[in-house]
Amino acid sequence: MKRRNLFTRGLVKENAVLVLMIGLCPALAVSGTVRDAFGMGLAATFVLLFSNVMISIMRKKIPNEVRIPVFILIISTFVTIIDYVMQAFQPDLYRALGIFVPLIVVNCMILGRAEAFAYKNSVIDSILDGLGVGLGFTLALTVMGAIREILGNGTFLGMAILGEGFKESPVIFMILPPGAFLVIGVLKALINKYVKKETQ
């Protein structure tokens, strides 16, 4: 496979959230605003990228029988790093994301890439794969965050874009938990209708 495809595959065609339907918990939980969604996406991308690199470097040294616990240890190391870095430099964002920052460790997307890709491929390929899948995750979260923030609060990144009148009585439903289920359900239905048919 061409190197460029490694990157674009995870970004669009095999998008973790909207196509493969993995990593749903953070995708639904923190997509209430664009800032939270984007921050969560970048944090997960950081962990995915560095754990991919680390596992790829050590792939000949990790014994096959204990690979899963080793993967989990490597992933949790990077999760702890991003946990403390965010707490120090982005305290507001950290408070908004809550327990979903330490919970990156059980995001099946990250363990899945370690097992299915980084353990078998070179470092460069693993970097491209990690970036593609991670940014695809960020993209999906940001799209959901944008829809929910615009409709639910009338703002985008905190700026009122639908006018002050809308901001006074927005569709509050969208930023509450039910809105998350509704948005991803409708997005998935649109993908089924317009995208899947072309690829089949």
Partner 1 sequence: MKNPALIFLGAFLINNIVLMRFLGLCPFFGVSTAVETATGMGMAVIFVMTLASWITWIVFNVILLPLNLVFLRTAVFILTIASLVQLVEMFLKKYYRTLYNAMGIYLPLITTNCAILGITFLNIDNKFNFLNATVFAIGTGIGFMVVMITFAAIRERLDLAPINPSLKGYPISFIAAGLMALAFLGFSGLFGLM
Task: Show the tokens assigned to 161.
Answer: 């874009």
Identify residues 15-44 at the interface with partner 1 (CB under 8 A). Answer: 21-22, 24-26, 28-29
Q: Are 123 and 56 in contact (CB under 8 A)?
A: yes
Neighbours of 20 (CB within 10 A): 16
**Which residue, among 34, 35, 29, 7, has the nearest Cα to 134 in the 3D structure?**
7
CA–CA gap between residue 110 and residue 53 (Å, rounded)? 12
By the rule CB under 8 A, 57 interacts with partner 1: no
Contacts with partner 1 by CB under 8 A: the residue count is 40
Query: In the complex, what is the shortest distance from the CB of residue 7 to partner 1, in angstroms, rounded to a whole number?
Result: 26
CA–CA gap between residue 130 and residue 6 (Å, rounded)? 9
Neighbours of 54 (CB within 10 A): 20
By the rule CB under 8 A, 149 interacts with partner 1: no
Q: Using the minimum distance from each CB to partner 1, give the nearer residue, 8 or 14.
A: 14
Query: In the complex, what is the shortest distance from the CB of residue 72 to partner 1, in angstroms, rounded to a whole number?
Result: 6
Given the rule CB under 8 A, which of 49-57, 95-103, 133-141, 143-151 is the region that contacts partner 1?
95-103
Task: Label residues 66-95 b or e (16+ Cβ within 10 Å = b).
Answer: eeeebbbebbbebbeebbeebeeeeeebbe
Query: In the complex, what is the shortest distance from the CB of residue 117 to partner 1, in angstroms, rounded to a whole number?
Result: 18
Query: In the complex, what is the shortest distance from the CB of residue 77 to partner 1, in angstroms, rounded to a whole number?
Result: 7
Residue type, 148: R
Given the rule CB under 8 A, which of 5-13, 48-56, 115-123, 172-180 is the region that contacts partner 1?
172-180
By the rule CB under 8 A, 3 interacts with partner 1: no
Binding site for partner 1 (CB under 8 A): 21-22, 24-26, 28-29, 69, 72-73, 76-77, 79-80, 83-84, 99, 102-103, 105-108, 111, 173, 176-182, 184-186, 188-190, 192-193
